[in-house]
Amino acid sequence: MLLFAFYLLPLPVFLLITQYRLSYALGMAVLAGGVVLAFGNVEWLLFIFFALLVGVSMGHVYRKPGSTGTDVVLAGFLAGFVGILLILGIAFLFVPAFQQLLTVWDRELEQARQYWEQMMGVEFDPHYFRLNLFMPVMLFFMVAPVPIINLWLGRKWLKRRAVEDKKLPPFKDWRLPKMFFYFYVVTILVYFLAIFMDSPFFNNYLSILFILQLLFTIQGYSLIAFLLDYGEKNKAWMVLAIFLAFTPILTIIQFLGLVDVGFDLRQWMIQMKNRQK
Q: Report pLDDT for 33.
A: 62
90 and 104 share one domain: yes
pLDDT over 80 (residue 154): yes
Both 43 and 28 in one domain: the answer is: yes
Asked if residue 40 and residue 99 are part of one domain, the reply reads yes
CA distance 262 to 185: 10
pLDDT at 41: 62
- Which of 168, 190, 224 lies at the terminal end of a domain, its last residue? 168
Where residue 176 falls (left for φ over 0; alpha for ψ -120 to 50; beta otherwise) is beta
Structural domain for 61, as ranges: 1-168
Residues 6+ apart with CB under 8 A from 83: 49, 50, 53, 54
Tens of pLDDT along 252-266?
889 988 988 888 778
39 with 158, same domain?
A: yes
**Whether 175 and 163 share a structural domain:** no
Neighbours of 44 (CB within 10 A): 18
Determine the residue type at 53.
Answer: L
pLDDT for the residue numbered 128? 63
Residue 134 has pLDDT above 80, yes or no: no
Domain end point (choices 168, 194, 221): 168
How many domains in the chain? Answer: 2
Whether 72 and 111 map to the same domain: the answer is yes
Largest Cα–Cα separation, the chain = 70
Within this chain, do residues 48 and 131 fall inside the same structural domain, yes or no? Answer: yes
Residue 1 banded pLDDT, cuts 50, 70, 90: low
Confidence of residue 132 (pLDDT cuts 50, 70, 90): low
pTM: 0.76
One domain for residues 6 and 131: yes
**In this structure, is the dihedral angle defined by the CA atoms of residues 90, 3, 166 and 62, taken in order, positive or negative?**
negative
